[in-house]
Homo-oligomer: A and B are copies of this chain.
Amino acid sequence: MKRYRLSVAYDGTDFCGWGVQPQMRTVQGVMGEACNKIFNEVGDVTAAGRTDSGVHAAGQTVHLDCETSIKAQNMAYRLNAVLPDDVVVESVKIVEDDFHARFHCLAKQYVYRLANGKVPPLFDRSTVAWEQRPLDLHPMREAAKYIEGEHDFKAFMNVGREMESTVRKILRFNVKRRQGQLIFSILGTGFLYNQVRVMVGTMIDIGLGKIPALMIKDILQSRDRKNAGVTVEAKGLSLQKTIYAGDPSEKMLPQ
């Protein structure tokens, strides 16, 4: 048995999220089936981040153990040949037996895409949410700076998963406008349940001028979910990068 590290992307539209659930189509389930078709003795397929229903991944990292005569450089090709067209394995390499996709992940970058104009998104409508009302970039950028750092994010968490602590560290929160879309990029060492989607929902209130940017600080301090914005729809969200020690992307992390 060897341990393999896979870089995986998927369109979350038709998946009930990453984690296996009975009777549901999940990415973990589909990947397990594909692996069982071509390898012997496949262990559990473990991901850096268990994305929710409808959430996409451009840069998910996965590890699994298997016994196979197929060379690592041919495994992506073999897996893609049996996987459905909404999951793609981009690369595979052999790693140390103790590599763990989840526990060794230093940071994750999520991206939320929001078309902001009068015309709805078309070709990318599966991966881009839509807000018709004009959003002002400036206060959203100000608010994003208040979110950066280590805070108790309880106000931005939906109930759903048990958590020992609601303190998390956001390393970077950028907001930019590009070709009629707002792109929210959030780099953090860990995230609470629905945290990114609640933060983006709150950002929208700020961009609309419903609340001032500075109020983010009060919302954080209140630790009360009622004070934050709505949970924006899943389809705009993508797990963009998962970062490990020694990866080229490690340079994205603050020194």
Nearest to A238 among chain B residues (CB) is B123
> Once the chains bind, are A123 and B127 in contact (CB under 8 Å)?
yes
For A77, what are the chain B residues with a Cβ–Cβ distance below 8 Å? 118
Task: Name the one of B76, B86, B118, B122 contacting A11, with C-beta atoms under 8 angstroms.
Answer: B122
Flag A58-70 by CB within 8 Å of B: 1 or 0 each.
1000000000000
Q: Which residues of B contact A125 (CB under 8 A)?
A: 11, 85
Q: How far is the CA of A90 from the CA of B122 in the complex (A)?
A: 10
Question: How distant is the Cα of A87 from the Cα of B119 in the complex, in angstroms?
Answer: 11
A127 CA / B127 CA spacing, docked (Å): 14
The interface bits of chain A over 123-155 (1 if a CB of B lies within 8 angstroms of the residue's CB, else 0) are 111110000000000000000000000000000
B90 touches A123 (CB 8 A): no
Cβ of A118: which chain B residues have Cβ within 8 Å of it? 76-77
Taking CB atoms, residues of chain B closer than 8 Å to A10 are 122
Complex Cα–Cα for A124 and B123 (A): 8
Q: Is A56 an interface residue (CB 8 A)?
A: yes
Collect the chain B residues with CB atoms within 8 Å of residue A126's CB: 123
Interface positions of A from 3 to 34, Cβ below 8 Å from B = 9-11
**A181 at the B interface (CB under 8 A):** no
Closest residue on chain B to residue A88 by CB atoms: B122
Residues of chain A touching chain B, judged by Cβ–Cβ distance below 8 Å, are 9-11, 56, 58, 76-77, 80, 85-90, 118-120, 122-127
Having A56-B123, A88-B122, one finds 9 other A-B pairs with CB under 8 Å, namely: A9-B123, A11-B122, A11-B125, A76-B118, A80-B120, A85-B120, A85-B122, A87-B122, A123-B126
